[in-house]
Amino acid sequence: MNRIVCKFGGSSLADAAQFRKVRAIVEADARRRIIVPSAPGKRNAGDTKITDLLYLCQHGASVRTDLSGPFGQIVERFVEIEKSLGLKPSIAEQLEALHAELARGVTPDYAASRGEHFCARLLAQYLDAEFVEPADCIVIGANGIVDPRSYRLLGERLADSRRRYVVPGFYGRDGEGQLRTFSRGGSDVSGAIAARAAGAELYENWTDVSGLLMADPRIVEHPRPMAEVTYAEIRELSYMGASVLHDEAMAPVREAGIPVCIRNTNEPDHPGTRIVAKLSPEVEKATQIAGIAGKTNFSMITIEKNLMNREIGFVFRLLGVLEHHGISFEHCPSSIDTVSVVMEAEELESKSELVIEEIRRTLEPDDIDFVPRIALIAIVGEGMAHTVGIAAKVFSALAAASVNVRLINQGSSELNIIVGVAPEDYPTAVRALYKAFVE
């Protein structure tokens, strides 16, 4: 049987009612055999995620404070789910053992992983499925990326296509056998690893939105949903702020050519958004771009020097200054006598004067311009490279909206055009670009 891997986010498992929705979704398609849950998320705006409570408990134990408040909330949440679903009582005893472990001292990774672990235990019991321990078969390298051995190890564990499995998201083990988590949102990565390991035909990522939108709904009113988007497009959009899917979750499924579908647990009949290697002809014709995304938290340093292009190693020395201060750069647009470096503002905040002074000393520029805050907007679409007039449309829309462009950058793949604007112009610019390309 061809199988589907289903990852369910924290909002999809926040309480017993959401667990029931998950079971209905899983049982609606016999191919949904591998389930990857997150830890229970917020039930309402004033609630706290289980993972945040676990981090709080671990920190409290490390400074010898009373854990009864946050840990009591964890116990209450899990026991309520177990009782409401009519499951065999066992979670309280398991949580009591966790409380003892926390009191003795555990790593932050171990503490945080227990949200997914216990959620998966309950879900496996509720679905009459087999629980799979990720620490036995998912290896996380020193760089935080999945070790390729994991695909074989987990694949062997999920070999029986007739069975249903529940694999907790977010964690595995390192090369020394110690439990380790991915970065926050890492259950998306776990789902992708499971899909590749099992040779799944589809990876369904169930969340609380009906697919991906072409722009931020907090800025653009009722933005159009995407029917399809490519792996490369969603990587760019996710990196630039579109926050539905963990950006590192693309790699395992992209390499294996497994499509992803973003769907809504609360609207299971909605088709959602498919993430594919190549767009269907119908979707490709429907719009010139995939979407618009951006962030407002960048800084920019621009260096001007006459005959800069004649100085061998000029940019090398510039980037060496950033390396010396432990700063990574995001973009580096240049002209014959100027070069700019853009980095996340928080990386530069306390070091700006030192960095600029070292640049003056090392490169002896004619002028340096420092912009402490600049917003970057990415207009993303694989079809842009073959479409005449895209750049003209971008800058005409911004000019008509009276938005001044401080930076222009386009990658060699021509997958996106990035413009930099003042943070106060960011919402106006996004709305203007959306109107020009979509409405």
Domains in the chain with CATH codes: 4-281 (3.40.1160.10), 291-437 (3.30.2130.10)
User: Residue 2 and residue 238: Cα distance in Å, rounded?
Assistant: 29
Residues contacting residue 264 through CB under 8 Å, at least 6 positions apart: 206, 207, 208, 209, 210, 211, 270, 272
Tens digits of residue pLDDT in 424-433: 999 999 999 9
* DSSP notation for 398-424: HHHTTPPP-EEEE-TT-SEEEEEE-GG
Tens digits of residue pLDDT in 117-143: 999 999 999 999 999 999 999 999 988
Q: How many CB atoms lie within 10 A of CB 439?
A: 9
Residue 247 pLDDT > 70: no
Q: How many CB atoms lie within 10 A of CB 356?
A: 17
User: Residue 247 and residue 226: Cα distance in Å, rounded?
Assistant: 17
Q: Give the pLDDT band (50/70/90) at residue 108.
A: very high
DSSP 383: G
Tens digits of residue pLDDT in 377-392: 999 988 776 778 888 9
φ and ψ at residue 299, rounded to 5 degrees:
-120, 160
SS3 385: helix
More confident residue, 387 or 4: 4
Greatest CA separation for the chain: 76
- Distances in Å between the alpha carbon of 280 and those of 107, 206, 247, 274, 326? 46, 23, 23, 11, 43
Interaxial angle between packed helices 91-104 and 68-84, expressed in degrees from 0 to 180 and rounded to the nearest 10:
160
Q: How many CB atoms lie within 10 A of CB 319?
A: 16
Ranges 70-79, 163-172, 312-321, 377-386: which has the least confidence: 377-386
> What is the average pLDDT across 339-361?
90
